[in-house]
Amino acid sequence: MAAEQGTQLSEAQIAVHWREENYYHPPAKFIGQANAADPAIFERFSEQRFPECFKEYADLLTWDAYWHTTLDTSNPPFWKWFVGGRLNASYNCVDRHLATSRNKAAFIWVPELETEETKAITYQELYRRVNEFAALLRDFCGVRVGDRVTFHLPMVPELPVSMLACARLGVVHSEVFGGFSGVACGERIADSGSHILVTMDGYYRNGELIDHKARADEAVAKARDLGAGVDKVLVWRRHPGQYASRSPMVPGRDFFVDDLLRDYRRTVVEPVSMPAEAPLFLMYTSGTTARPKGCQHSTGGYLAYVTGTSKYYQDIHPEDTYWCFADIGWITGHSYIVYGPLSLGTTSVMYEGVPAYPDPGRPWRIAERLGVTIFHTAPTTIRMLRKLGPDEPPKYDYHFKHMTTVGEPIEPDVWRWYHDVVGKGEAVIVDTWWQTENGGFLGSTLPALKPMKPGSCGPGVLGVYPVIYDENGAVVEAGSGRAGNICIRNPWPGIFQTIWGQPERFVQIYYEKYCRNKQSKDWRDWPYFAGDGAVQAADGYFRILGRVDDVINVAGHRLGTKELESASLTVEEIAEAAAVPVMDELRGRAVEMYVSVKPGVAPSRAIEEKVAKAIETEIGKIARPKNIWIVPDMPKTRSGKIMRRVIAAISNFTDVGDTTTLANPGVVDDIRHHVQAEKVGRGEVPRKLSPQEIEEIKAFGRAE
Ligand code: PRX
């Protein structure tokens, strides 16, 4: 049976050896203008000043009522920040900038097709659009404070407009990544109990207009199967007035937003003054079990945290043009495209499409054209742009002062290309480690004040005190070369409040493991378990090794093995399924599925394709496995547990280890010969793996 977070970290405690990388120092020009350039800031955020240090972040916001208690720990681990305070997130991101910056672009939206015009949306226009859509939600849909509204929207300005409209009303939004399937969206609708779905007819991806509305129909059907009714589907049109989908509009249920908005022209909706502790949004993510977790984020703590970290770690100044090349459907986009930057009154670039469309010079053309000064993306995008266009960046006249990497470990070699070629040696880099659950950065260098080290995220960020524990809760010392579970010793304002509807799992997954005393109301007894393996070097910098809970990080997307396996088992011919990670040059990790068929069923390509389709239908195209292997039997322990580490080793051409204790050791060689011969034939032999990657494979499946 799967233990929620049981990690046999004895395996990860094995010494991890790697070459320590040399430091890179921030350019003097960057230091000269940085928001945080005085080392006294470390003192201000020292542990002795906790939790009051976070007043510095909260004071960046406009409060309707100031708080009386910075951190309330009376009901651990349900921490409450800025208690007594009231504010509105939409007011903070939009209205308060009007007096000084109404004509400044809040977003510069770049459509994927280069033949379409770039659109600038000023703070004034954003204000109008947010108010009008808020009026529609309130008056046409009847949503009220605390209700949930689900979005299934791509990278279009209508997404931040929809988010801010909900925030204005005190309504909780739940955006499902546009690339997820209709079924995945339907599950999240049902889990959150929303009755309204906001979607779009279509959007461009790789030059193709995707029929997105069709997924809304699947989502509503899935939600209905799960006992949840969707009353209204609001459909934005990619080209207002023209419907781009082939799926019919359902009378009485489906409505074109551009039509409805005519009735709300010029309507102004007073921002609802919300308690700091009111939920702002849900963001679903994967873990050990098949059911996705709705991470509930707060209004005051979250907004303070993303605003403060945007200022100090993203180093955003009023004159910057900031481009976070991520999807708003993930936490990175919520925190560092929408809430943090808008709260600071930033001009942000939003790009609809894929990185290399129509060619790998595209991002650098956008940067040149718009004068981007701050660039933020994931290692996957960097690897892809390097592979497809290693010599493209110097052809374009742009100059970044600051760059971010987020979401996956970055190989030092890729880091150096990012620094030397993309950044032209002029930009400082922050490698930011954090998670959907965290709201904002947890580990990063403070860009003007700490040197960079390729492959390491750096120390804990201001006011966040990480520690590495072994399985028994003993501290693994910095510089010991031993890995363990990275935890955060203290609460911080961006931490999520709970898993929507599952408070027991929230406590169990994130706090039970290292809680020292369940009766204690002292935060020091409740370290946060992040679910990542890590090593701390002697200089205090952390290197993140990856998940310890059988989540596979594909191109920065968290995919739960259980979700992949239960999707495969929806195919009637399949008896058993196991998902494992395989090293992938571009995506970091890819998924390989091993399946066995029921008695009497003959293996075939058609069955493999059915499994791939089932995964696309249940989760989305991003989860499509690299390979599906139909095997005669799975390697199993005598108690019948599938040994995922053994098949993971086969897929990655590493040592399968001791298999003598298996119930069916003979099957291992059969599978290995078959799979590896096929892979050799397809040219899929991986490069030599690092000791760290070998450890990851060895440890895979330990969460069971
Ligand atoms: O394993 C860590 C990895 O991504 C996981 C979190 O994924 P998600 O919740 O989707 O959030 C991604 C964007 C914040 C982590 O548990 N991860 C994230 N950032 C880094 C990282 N691994 C190494 N280095 C990073 N900078």
Model confidence pLDDT, tens digit, residues 75-118: 999 999 999 999 999 999 999 999 999 999 999 999 999 999 99
DSSP 159-200: HHHHHHHHHHHTPEEEE--TTB-HHHHHHHHHHHT--EEEEE
Q: Quick check: 6 pLDDT over 60?
A: no
Candidate from 96-110, 301-315, 636-650 with smallest mean pLDDT: 636-650
Over residues 341-354, mean pLDDT:
98
Q: Quick check: 703 pLDDT over 70?
A: no
- pLDDT above 70 coverage of the chain, percent: 97
Over residues 17-45, mean pLDDT:
93
| Ligand 1 atom with the shortest distance to the CA of 557 | 10
Mutate to test the pocket of ligand 1, among 285, 411, 434, 485 (most ligand atoms within 8 A of CB): 434
- Separation CA 408–CA 554 (nearest Å): 9
Position 7 scores a pLDDT of: 37
| Ligand 1 atom with the shortest distance to the CA of 551 | 1
Reported as a single tens digit per residue, the pLDDT across 241-259 is 999 999 999 999 999 999 9
CB 121 within 8 A of CB 372: no
Question: Ligand 1 — pocket residues by CB below 6 A?
Answer: 285, 331-332, 406-409, 431-436, 457, 531-532, 544, 546-547, 553, 558
Structure tokens of 383? 């690897």
| Ligand 1 atom with the shortest distance to the CA of 405 | 26
Over residues 376-400, mean pLDDT:
97
Position 288 scores a pLDDT of: 78
Which protein residue has the closest C-alpha to ligand 1 atom 7? 435
Mutate to test the pocket of ligand 1, among 314, 453, 553 (most ligand atoms within 8 A of CB): 553
Instruction: Assign 215 to helix, strand or coil.
Output: helix
Position 27 scores a pLDDT of: 98
Q: Give the pairing of strands 172-175 and 148-152.
A: parallel
Would you place residue 698 in the very low, low, confident or very high pLDDT band (cuts 50, 70, 90)?
confident
Query: Among all chains, which residue has been given the structure tokens 């979401």?
Result: 407
pTM reported for the whole predicted model: 0.94
Position 15 scores a pLDDT of: 43
Q: Quick check: 128 pLDDT over 50?
A: yes
Would you place residue 18 in the very low, low, confident or very high pLDDT band (cuts 50, 70, 90)?
low
Mutate to test the pocket of ligand 1, among 288, 337, 411, 435 (most ligand atoms within 8 A of CB): 435
Reported as a single tens digit per residue, the pLDDT across 419-473 is 999 999 999 999 999 999 999 999 999 999 999 999 999 999 999 999 999 999 9
Position 222 scores a pLDDT of: 97
Distance of CA 429 to the CA centre of its chain: 19
Around 133, how many Cα atoms within 13 Å sit in the side-chain half-sphere?
A: 27
- Supply the Cα-derived Rg of the chain in whole angstroms: 25
Q: Quick check: 17 pLDDT over 60?
A: no
- Separation CA 456–CA 409 (nearest Å): 8
| Ligand 1 atom with the shortest distance to the CA of 406 | 26
Q: Give the pairing of strands 627-630 and 588-597.
A: parallel
Reported as a single tens digit per residue, the pLDDT across 275-288 is 999 999 999 998 87
Mutate to test the pocket of ligand 1, among 293, 406, 529 (most ligand atoms within 8 A of CB): 406
Would you place residue 704 in the very low, low, confident or very high pLDDT band (cuts 50, 70, 90)?
low
Candidate from 195-199, 522-526, 687-691 with smallest mean pLDDT: 687-691
Q: Quick check: 149 pLDDT over 70?
A: yes
* HEC-encoded secondary structure of 370-393: HCCCEEEECHHHHHHHHHHCCCCH
Would you place residue 696 in the very low, low, confident or very high pLDDT band (cuts 50, 70, 90)?
confident
- CB atoms under 10 Å from CB of 528, counted, come to 25
Compute the distance from residue 434 Cα to the ligand 1 centre, in Å: 5
Q: Quick check: 628 pLDDT over 90?
A: yes
Which protein residue has the closest C-alpha to ligand 1 atom 21? 408
Calculate the average pLDDT of the chain.
94
Would you place residue 289 in the very low, low, confident or very high pLDDT band (cuts 50, 70, 90)?
confident
Position 686 scores a pLDDT of: 82
Backbone angle region of 583, left / alpha / beta, with phi > 0 → left and psi within -120 to 50 → alpha = beta
Compute the distance from residue 409 Cα to the ligand 1 centre, in Å: 8
Candidate from 499-508, 634-643, 672-681 with smallest mean pLDDT: 634-643
Q: Quick check: 9 pLDDT over 90?
A: no
Higher pLDDT, residue 135 or 13: 135
CB 334 within 8 A of CB 436: no
Which protein residue has the closest C-alpha to ligand 1 atom 18? 407
Find the angle CA(117)-CA(398)-CA(441) to the nearest 5 degrees: 90
CB 321 within 8 A of CB 371: yes
| Ligand 1 atom with the shortest distance to the CA of 434 | 14
Position 677 scores a pLDDT of: 95
| Ligand 1 atom with the shortest distance to the CA of 558 | 10
Reported as a single tens digit per residue, the pLDDT across 537-560 is 999 999 998 888 889 999 889 999
Reported as a single tens digit per residue, the pLDDT across 569-617 is 999 999 999 999 999 989 999 999 999 999 999 999 999 999 999 999 9
Compute the distance from residue 263 Cα to the ligand 1 centre, in Å: 43
Would you place residue 664 in the very low, low, confident or very high pLDDT band (cuts 50, 70, 90)?
very high
